[in-house]
């Protein structure tokens, strides 16, 4: 059996920006401290929610290094180093390893995509090049492709491929994958509205956008389930469903950055091509934040 990277809730953390849209490392550090204080079990840095696609290479690596230094071993730091260019993903992964990341998050190739056989070669090449555990990231809504259960099974044989972040919403395929892979592959929910269903299939937790604004509550959804308090866990997830939906009423991370600003964090704006929310969506987000007592 492989060692789990984390159990519980990992925050897919935002990358706060200054007014000139440079990275605000000071605020990033404050958010990391607050997340750990509020029971977040791991930090996922420079993923989609961290605007990885608009960071320079220097910023990408510096954010990983900064998160590692700030977390100081209190929780694992998982670096988003995926790409649709295998050599680039490999380079980023090596850089993340150099600066002390505990694990890697690898999204499926997007736009140019690949075949299922290409997925095996792509992920294997990266896993062979580093000595870090990897989480595969299956998010068809963003990439236009999915990882088939039998491909998960083949990839799970690699000692460095230890988990998957599943955001497909296809629970039949996830159940089949769990059957095929057994204990060789951990699963985390990639959707905040599906944490409890994923846990019911033996999932280890969630990689969460919600955790940016409700870290303790997101952790508690998982912990209650692990403690056998399944009804309480489900009730807590249902309580936050309106907010979860509002956090995805526009392209992620536009709403969650707005929510962080509403909470008093100097999260700043998103870099283009992501733009400001509509007034209608802002009102919806504020309403749902008030409904759960965040503001």
Q: Which tens digits make up the pLDDT trace of 39-76?
A: 999 999 999 999 999 999 999 999 999 999 999 999 99
Predicted local confidence at residue 74, as pLDDT: 98
Q: Is 189 exposed, middle or buried (0-12, 13-18, 19+ CB in 10 A)?
A: buried
Cα–Cα distances in Å, from 132 out to 90, 166, 258? 12, 20, 33
Predicted local confidence at residue 148, as pLDDT: 98
Q: Is 193 exposed, middle or buried (0-12, 13-18, 19+ CB in 10 A)?
A: middle
Taking the whole predicted model, whether its pTM rises above 0.95 is answered as yes
3-class state of residue 188 by DSSP: strand
The domains of the chain are located at 8-230
Cα–Cα distances in Å, from 113 out to 16, 107, 124, 143, 196? 30, 11, 16, 7, 30
Query: What sections of 240-278 are H helices per DSSP?
Result: 241-246, 254-262
Q: By percentage, how much of the chain surpasses pLDDT 70?
A: 100
Q: What is the per-residue pLDDT across 192-234, written as a single tens digit (0 to 9) for each? A: 999 999 999 999 999 999 999 999 999 999 999 999 999 999 9
Topology, domain 8-230: TIM Barrel (3.20.20)
Catalytic residue among 66, 152, 165, 257: 165
165 is catalytic: yes
Is residue 1 predicted with pLDDT exceeding 90?
Answer: no
If we measure between CA atoms, which residue out of 178, 154, 179 comes closest to residue 166? 178
180 Cβ contact list (under 8 Å, min separation 6): 149, 150, 152, 153
Catalytic residue among 37, 88, 111, 137: 137
Average pLDDT, the chain: 98
Q: Are 61 and 23 in contact (CB under 8 A)?
A: no
If we measure between CA atoms, which residue out of 12, 18, 21 comes closest to residue 274? 21
Q: What is the per-residue pLDDT across 78-97, written as a single tens digit (0 to 9) for each? A: 999 999 999 999 999 999 99
Predicted local confidence at residue 283, as pLDDT: 98
If we measure between CA atoms, which residue out of 214, 157, 161, 165 comes closest to residue 194? 165
Q: By percentage, how much of the chain surpasses pLDDT 90?
A: 99
| Helix or strand holding residue 54 (H, E) | none
If we measure between CA atoms, which residue out of 63, 55, 84, 71 comes closest to residue 10? 71
188 is catalytic: no
293 Cβ contact list (under 8 Å, min separation 6): none
């Amino acid at each position: 059996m492989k060692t789990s990277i984390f159990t519980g809730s990992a925050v897919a953390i935002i990358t706060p920006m200054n007014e000139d849209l440079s990275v605000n490392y000071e605020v990033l550090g404050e958010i990391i401290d607050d997340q750990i204080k509020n029971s977040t079990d791991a930090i996922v840095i420079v993923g989609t929610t961290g605007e990885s696609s608009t960071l320079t290479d220097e910023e990408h690596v510096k954010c990983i290094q900064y998160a590692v230094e700030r977390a100081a071993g209190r929780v694992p730091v998982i670096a988003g180093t995926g790409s649709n260019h295998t050599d680039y993903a490999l380079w980023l992964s090596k850089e993340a390893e150099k600066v002390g990341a505990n694990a890697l998050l690898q999204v499926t190739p997007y736009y140019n995509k690949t075949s299922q056989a290409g997925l095996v070669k792509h992920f294997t090449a990266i896993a062979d090049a580093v000595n870090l555990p990897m989480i595969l990231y299956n998010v068809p809504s963003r990439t236009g492709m999915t990882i088939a259960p039998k491909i998960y099974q083949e990839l799970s044989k690699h000692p460095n491929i230890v988990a998957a972040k599943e955001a497909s919403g296809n629970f039949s395929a996830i159940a089949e994958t769990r059957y095929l892979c057994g204990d060789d592959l951990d699963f985390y929910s990639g959707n905040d509205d599906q944490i409890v269903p994923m846990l019911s299939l033996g999932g280890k937790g969630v990689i969460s956008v919600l955790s940016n604004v409700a870290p303790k509550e997101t952790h508690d959804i998982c912990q209650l389930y692990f403690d056998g308090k399944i009804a309480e866990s489900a009730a807590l997830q249902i309580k936050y469903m309106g907010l979860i939906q509002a956090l995805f009423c526009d392209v992620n991370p536009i709403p969650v950055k707005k929510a962080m600003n509403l909470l008093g964090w100097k999260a700043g704006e998103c870099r283009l091509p992501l733009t400001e929310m509509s007034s209608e969506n802002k009102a919806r987000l504020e309403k749902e934040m008030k409904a759960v007592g965040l503001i």
